Amino acid sequence: MSSTATLLRLGPSAPPPPAAPAPPAPPDRERLARQAVLLGAVLIGYALARGRGDGEIGPWGIIEVLPPTYLGCLAVPAVIFLDELYRRRRTAVLLPALLAQTVLVYGSVAFAESMARFPTAWLHAGFVTEILRTGELARGVDARYSWPGFFTAAGAFAATAGVDPAGLLRWAPLCFAVANLLPLALLFRALHPSKRVRWLGLWVFVAANWVGQDYFAPQAFGFLLHLSVLAVVATAFRRGTAGRYAPRQQAALIGAIVAAATAVAMSHQLTPFMLAATLLPPALLGRIRIRLLPLVLATISVAWVCYGAQDFWSGHLHEILGLGDSGSSVATGVGGRVVGSPQHQAVVNVRIGLAGTVWLLAGAGAAHALLRRRAGLFTLLIAATPLLTVAGQSYGGEGVLRGYLFSLPAAALLAAEALVAATGAGRRVVAYAGVALTLAALPLTLVARYGNESYEHVTPGEAKAIAALYDLAPPGSTLICLTQSISWRQNGPTRYDYPAPVLSESGPASAHDLIRVLSQNPRGGYVVVSDSQVAYGREVQSLPPDWGAGFERDLLGSGRFAVALGNADATVYRFLPATAAAVR
């Protein structure tokens, strides 16, 4: 039989043998030139920004210290990306352009500042250090110890890689930003047929993600896994995908989803519930083939809260169930943030404007996609559900930010649909206007993302002062900061006593209040005053520019404090016992 078939193939009616393979195509010089320009833009951007953020940063954030030429570098990937998108759409150009854009936006602070930014990231490094040192969870100290999955995994990572956890902080945001692009690309490929819309959706996501939840934190890790689960569900388990993957492949993917849900449930309070809630409407409406998946995800999350977070939920059940007042949530999240100095209010308004623009475009894109039947109900549901969950939570202002973040993937795709529809079909003027608008929006992205840099960055002087403080202060002594905007506790949150900051919503405490608190600890106490803390009071609570200096005068005037150490960026005051003060 087989010989007959062979004879038939070789007979006179058989097709001619395949032609000799074509010689390899010459290298595409234009493509190589574009890639070289992109690499050059990143390298020049790095050289231009390096060290610029180590001094004082003004109220508009990182953009104040970056040279105008950096903004030129920022525009290069955008121009190449948009040009390529509307001409040849080669992945070999679009992908490097997108990566270069991501690096220049998300890496701008890592380029400009030689220390890792953001106080909460330093605290998270402290959690990891504490777990590495003790092998235990200090649950009574912080609620986040009830969701230690990310911290224990980061501990294993740091121990195996042989680095200090604080050493992971500086580049973590850029790593998360780049890592998020892969599941996003897979998700978009499953959800939209147009390559142009998909690539533009990725670019919109990069430009519009100002939320800043991508630092060294469980929520960044949870968001990456959230995107990955969504991408796999949309690719392999959406309605109409039956038979696309072999049963063993599908079983393995379901196992991976369950494992990821378990890891997220162990790592963060909100993300697992957001994941279950995002998949619930598509499951109820039959848009995904595993209808029980949201129930399984929710069960895993509740099970962890009952077991691992028992210490926390017994006192905060209302916060976890979060059946909050929608009006108050939105008011706290949006209205409550438009406070502080005029510049800070403007920065917050830029954020609100960016979010509103994305949602408006997404609404237009949704209408267009539905009319043209280009995007399914699945996309609309995963864009809208996170926003609806915000209304029913009592997570405070953070919840609104998270609602925006979790809706952004699908919203970015729908916004791209609107932009492509508006600029397509020979509308050259609209296209040029769109490109001009996009280039103008890039600096706004930097303002929205890093507009708090005046008090969220860490200067080398401040870091040195904190390190010297830890060398000086005996373990167990009381350490007091002016405001929450201080990057410390990286050696663990339990080695010292950290009472509430001096500055509360009602204003700064007096030196007398501090004396009362510090007198209770026989091991002594210290007060840290730094530029970033003073900037926080000035920008967020509208205190006068010299409020920090006034507070320091009060401290010294009380006769109970003396300068222990200091530099241009930070001063540490030692609390003097009553006897020593009397001698002075």
Partner 1 sequence: MTPRVRLGAAAVLTGWSGLVLLWLAVAGASGGVPALRVLLIGPLLVAGPGTACALLLRFASRALCGVVAVLVSCPLLVLMAQASLYSGHWAPLGVGVAQLVLTLLLSAVALLRERHAAHV
Binding site for partner 1 (CB under 8 A): 131-132, 135-137, 148-150, 152-153, 155-163, 167-168, 179, 182-183, 185-186, 189, 221, 224-225, 228-229, 231-232, 235-236, 245, 248-249, 252-253, 256-257, 259-260, 262-263, 266-267
In this structure, are residues 358 and 418 in contact, taking their beta carbons and an 8 Å threshold? no
- Closest distance of CB 186 from partner 1, Å: 4
Q: Are 383 and 484 contacting, i.e. CB atoms less than 8 angstroms apart? A: no
Are 405 and 209 spatial neighbours (Cβ–Cβ below 8 Å)? yes
Spatial neighbors of 562 by CB under 8 A, at least 6 apart, are 556, 573, 574, 576, 584
Q: What is the rounded CA–CA span in Å between residue 575 and residue 564?
A: 9
Instruction: Closer to partner 1 by CB, 63 or 233: give it.
Output: 233
Smallest distance from partner 1 to CB 244, Å: 10
90, 84 in Cβ contact below 8 A?
yes
Concatenated DSSP letters of 506-521:
TEEPPHHHHHHHHTT-
For 448, counting Cβ atoms within 10 Å of its Cβ (0-12 exposed, 13-18 middle, 19+ buried), the class is: buried
Least distance in angstroms from the C-beta of 114 to partner 1: 14
Which CB sits closer to partner 1, 221 or 359?
221
CB of 148 to partner 1, least distance (A): 7
* Residue whose CB is less far from partner 1, 222 or 333: 222
Q: Measure the CA–CA gap between 297 and 290, rounded to whole angstroms.
A: 12
Q: Which is nearer to partner 1, 129 or 389 (CB)?
A: 129
Question: Given the complex with partner 1, which of 247 and 474 has the nearer CB atom?
Answer: 247
How many other CB atoms are found less than 10 A from the CB of residue 331?
A: 13
Identity of the residue, 54 or 130, whose beta carbon is nearer to partner 1 in the bound complex: 130
Shortest Cβ 284–partner 1 spacing (Å): 24
At its nearest, how many Å lie between partner 1 and the CB of residue 137?
A: 7
Q: List all residues 6 or more positions away from 357 whose beta carbon is below 8 Å from its beta carbon.
A: 208
Treating both helix axes as pointing N-terminal to C-terminal, what angle do 326-333 and 377-391 enclose, rounded to 10 degrees? 90
Burial 529-558 (b: 16+ CB within 10 A, else e): bbbbbbbbbbbbbebeeebbeebbebbeeb
Bridge-based pairing of strands 570-575 and 503-504 is unpaired
Which residue number, 150 or 575, has a Cβ lying nearer to partner 1? 150
- 34 burial via Cβ count (<10 Å: 0-12, 13-18, 19+): buried
Q: How far is the CB of 184 from partner 1 (least distance, A)?
A: 10
Residue with smaller CB distance to partner 1, 179 or 321 = 179
What's the N-to-C CA distance of the chain in angstroms?
109
Cβ-based nearer residue to partner 1, 191 or 528: 191
Q: How far is the CB of 488 from partner 1 (least distance, A)?
A: 22
CA distance 502 to 507: 8
Which of 25/161 has CB closer to partner 1? 161
Closer to partner 1 by CB, 148 or 212: give it.
148
Which structure tokens are listed for 73?
């570098």
**Cα 340 from Cα 243, distance rounded (Å):** 57
Residue 212 CB, shortest distance to partner 1, in Å, is: 21
C-alpha radius of gyration, the chain, whole number: 27
Task: State the minimum distance, in angstroms, from the CB of residue 181 to partner 1.
Answer: 10
Q: At closest approach, how far in Å is the CB of 262 from partner 1?
A: 7
Separation between Cα atoms, residue 108 and residue 103, nearest integer Å: 7
Nearer to partner 1, 189 or 195 (CB): 189
Q: How far is the CB of 387 from partner 1 (least distance, A)?
A: 25
Q: Is residue 378 a contact partner of residue 270, using CB atoms and an 8 Å limit?
A: no
Smallest Cα–Cα separation from 417: which of 124, 173, 566, 199?
199
The residues that bridge with 480 in the sheet, in sequence order, are: 527
